[in-house]
Amino acid sequence: LAKTTQPISMDSYEGQEVNITCSHNNIATNDYITWYQQFPSQGPRFIIQGYKTKVTNEVASLFIPADRKSSTLSLPRVSLSDTAVYYCLVGEGNFNKFYFGSGTKLNVKP
Amino acid sequence: GAVVSQHPSWVICKSGTSVKIECRSLDFQATTMFWYRQFPKQSLMLMATSNEGSKATYEQGVEKDKFLINHASLTLSTLTVTSAHPEDSSFYICSASTRTAPAFFGQGTRLTVV
């Protein structure tokens, strides 16, 4: 039932920029794209949300092309503490009812 | 961001007993709350959608008589696992949502049934 597809895992090094791309080919007109971060034994933490073009906040940027069939989460200068699972979610309208996919396990190395 | 709190953070119970988990939105009124469960090394699985003052909507395969959900106010939803068995041991997570903001998740509740 998940509406999104992401790479299962990614490796990076401290200080690098990390881009995680998510595919959501069947996104509906009213759907928003939301990214969450989850550490082991914790609930997901909100990172960023967008509808189209580019959104930036203090921790990340979200790039959404015009057709909205994919999105890219960009994490600038990652650190070891960014090692986590990142979920790309598409909500029904802005209802925030989510069917989680596998997420992307990001491993940041020193 | 907004704060969603779950209580307890962890609980151990005996097989056959019932356990109640609370989910509170501390600084906003949630239109809707959702309940998820997560097994080790797996993703979150949506169990049910809870709206204040109405019956919860359960996902296919989730037993409504086993997982009782009560949404008494715009800031509180509870999940009761009835007659718990070891296979119900899991990490239970709630999220709270309004229609104008992202959903925020609780910290999760680790349930262990022995």
Write out pLDDT tens, residues A18-32. Answer: 999 999 999 989 889
Distance CA B47, CA B50 (A): 10
Does the distance separating the beta carbons of B44 and A44 come in below 8 Å? yes
Cβ-based contacts of B99 with chain A (< 8 Å)? 93-95
Residue type, A51: Y
Does the distance separating the beta carbons of B102 and A46 come in below 8 Å? yes
Does the distance separating the beta carbons of B104 and A46 come in below 8 Å? yes
Distance CA B3, CA B5 (A): 6
Say if CB B40 and CB B28 are below 8 A apart: no
End-to-end Cα, chain A, rounded Å: 36
Q: Kindly state the tokens that stand for A53.
A: 């073009």
In A, minimum Cα distance to B35 occurs at A97
pLDDT at residue A7, rounded to an integer: 97
Give the residue with greater pLDDT, B74 vs A96: B74
- Percent of chain B surpassing pLDDT 70: 99
Residue type, A84: A
Does the distance separating the beta carbons of B6 and A95 come in below 8 Å? no
Cβ-based contacts of B102 with chain A (< 8 Å)? 34, 46, 49, 96
Q: Chain A residues with CB-CB distance to B under 8 A?
A: 34, 36, 41-46, 49, 87, 91, 93-103
